[in-house]
Structure 1
Amino acid sequence: MSSITKPTIILVHGAWHGSWCWKFQIPALEALGYAVEAVDLPCASGVPGTTQFDDADHVRSFVESQISMGKRVVVLAHSYGGPIASAAIKGLSNKGVLGMIALSGFIFPEGMDQGAVIRDMGGLPYVIWDVPSEGLFQTKDPRSLFFPPDVPADRVEWAVPQLLPQSMAANMGIVPPQAWQDNSYTGRCTADVVIPIEQQDAMVEGAGGQGKWVVRTLEGSSHSPFLSRPQEVAAALEDIVNAFEAKM
């Protein structure tokens, strides 16, 4: 597959993050000949009240703008960005979207009430609610949550000050309609603190199992492989994109 024919990779970040988090991932993808675009989600702008639907609409608008220019698209989504990207590309699989890759991403069914699930769990122990102001929340200790065991210390110190408060409405709301019933792929990170490997496997099984999903595993990776091992992520993406192309 030549660099001329390769699809554009659209990067969708997770909660509290922004397009900045892909700084080291983008060159690794570009080195393989991909054009790369990264979006910023409204939920992580520090403004309360934004929902998953707002985020999905924002990503969908961007995806459609790329398709309108004749580009073929693959979406790579991290963490919270998984359900957002899956909602954003629903109905676009025959209009220029080759597929979506969930990188240590959540896989939730349409209509799921995340707020009810979180309340049933007794809350999320690693976050502080209504901080720094009402309707926003942030992590208690991002250094211990997102980056161990393999993100270099200098990249941790670079990343932490850029994390922003997240809209509570986005994480406590209803999951939009999802496109993962189409061909989707997931990347597992075995040392992930945010989404333990057992939970990653359970989500895949609950969404049709490994017969439906093609799984690539990054052994020993943290929740942030785009910081710790971007070349490995790029190589896995190349493999998955080739699989997308083979099915076209």
Structure 2
Amino acid sequence: MTRPDMTARALGPARLHSVAARAASAAPGAASADSRPPVLLVHGAYHGAWCWDGWVERLDAEGWAVHSLDLRGHGGLAPDAAFRTDGAEEMTADVVAAIDAIGAPPLVVGHSMGGLLVVLAALNRPVAGLLLVCPSPPGNLPGAARVPLVDESALCPPLSAAQAGERYAPHLAPEALAAMAARLSAESPRLLNQRYDLRIPVDPAALPTDLPILVVEGGRDDPARHPPGQDEAIARFYGAGHLRLPEAPHNLMLGPGWQGWFTAIWNRVTDML
């Protein structure tokens, strides 16, 4: 996979990677790049902007202006002294800063924990739409599954390859799984516990009534954190569309099958906008 040439700029403790639109590369019959919103890709817990590299390449080739975000303490950014107690409010501030830096309301894509942060950001800034990929549930979602809490006295270390395989990527071969796990970051225990203990509510009525939203479910997602039916319930909660990909794992952006899953998702996104 060849990543397009990207510029990177610091946004306080976060970092935004950007590729300008290439209108000449747009697919035949597609809307011109000038008429489409920019895309902002937001990763989930333990990850970084690197997890979107394949999507960045596809979106760039199809003429979209695309941006991917390293949240504070992720993607090779060293966590500062406050990172252990940083939670959803601080991480959402990074997403808001990225939206402000882009300058035009973007289509904001959030994966896992990022799928909750981008909704919170959309309560604070205009966006062109939301794509929530295997998203964490809002804390006030009826029937949402709680997850055992972690120790908040120290950072949560990156997951091992075995843990990452079970939770994120059962489709990856051992060598690819080890390479992915080596890129994972330590995580804020406060952020994890806010999500695990369902402490991050969202008022869906506060979102614009005409905001396009699509929730994507991976049929091979981790049932402890994403039990069957939860993503469809999230879609109902937000009044969103729902797309279930039966063979997709949690990290459906990576490894065998990602191109087909991307195409299925993006066909729905372009119809939605």
Q: TM-score range by the shorter chain?
A: 0.7 to 0.9
- TM-score, structure 1 length as denominator? 0.77
In the alignment, the residues of structure 2 paired with residue 213 and residue 159 of structure 1 have an alpha-carbon distance, to the nearest angstrom, of 31
Q: Secondary structure at the match of 2:109?
A: strand
Other-structure match for 1:100 = 130
Q: Distance in 2 between matches of 1:50 and 1:147?
A: 27
Across the two proteins, how many residue pairs are aligned to each other? 224
Matches within 5 A, 1:72-151: 72-92=105-125, 95=126, 97-109=127-139, 118=146, 123=148, 129=151, 134-138=153-157, 139=159, 141-148=163-170, 150-151=171-172
Verify the 8 A CA contact 1:146 1:223 in the aligned structure 2: yes
In 1, distance between residues paired with 2:271 and 2:139? 24
Provide the residue aligned with 1:175 in structure 2.
Answer: 200
1:152-189 CA distance string (max 9 Å, x none): 44432321111111101112233164568543211111
Identity of aligned residues (%): 19
Provide the aligned C-alpha RMSD in A: 3.0
Say whether the 8 Å CA contact 1:204–1:213 is kept in structure 2. no
Which residue, 152, 155, 159 being the options, matches 2:176?
155
In structure 2, the residue matched to 1:52 is 88
Find 2:248's aligned residue among 213, 221, 233: 221
Q: Is the 8 A contact 2:87 2:190 kept in 1?
A: yes
TM-fit CA distance, 1:32: 2.1
Q: Which has the higher contact order (CA 8 A, sep 6+)?
A: 1
- C-alpha change, 1:9 and 1:232, in structure 2 (3 Å) is farther
Equivalent position amino acid for 1:136 in 2: L
Q: Provide the secondary structure at the position in 2 that maps to 1:241.
A: helix
Give the structure 2 partner of residue 230 of structure 1.
258
Distance 1:16 1:168 in 2: 11
* One-letter identity of the residue aligned with 2:243: R
CA distance in 2, matches of 1:111, 1:196: 14
The answer on whether the counterparts of 1:98 and 1:244 sit within 8 Å (CA) in structure 2 is no
Q: State the 1:34 CA deviation.
A: 1.4
* C-alpha distance in structure 1 between counterparts of 2:191 and 2:241, whole Å: 28
Residue among 148, 160, 185 paired with 1:164: 185
Structure 1: unaligned runs, 5 residues or longer: none
Aligned counterparts of 2:203 and 2:180: Cα–Cα separation in 1:
30
Residues 88 and 178 from structure 1, CA distance in 2 versus in 1: closer, same or farther, beyond 3 angstroms? farther
CA distance in 1, matches of 2:234, 2:97: 29
Q: Which among 165, 178, 190 is matched to residue 219 of structure 2?
A: 190
Q: Unmatched 5+ residue regions in structure 2? A: 1-30
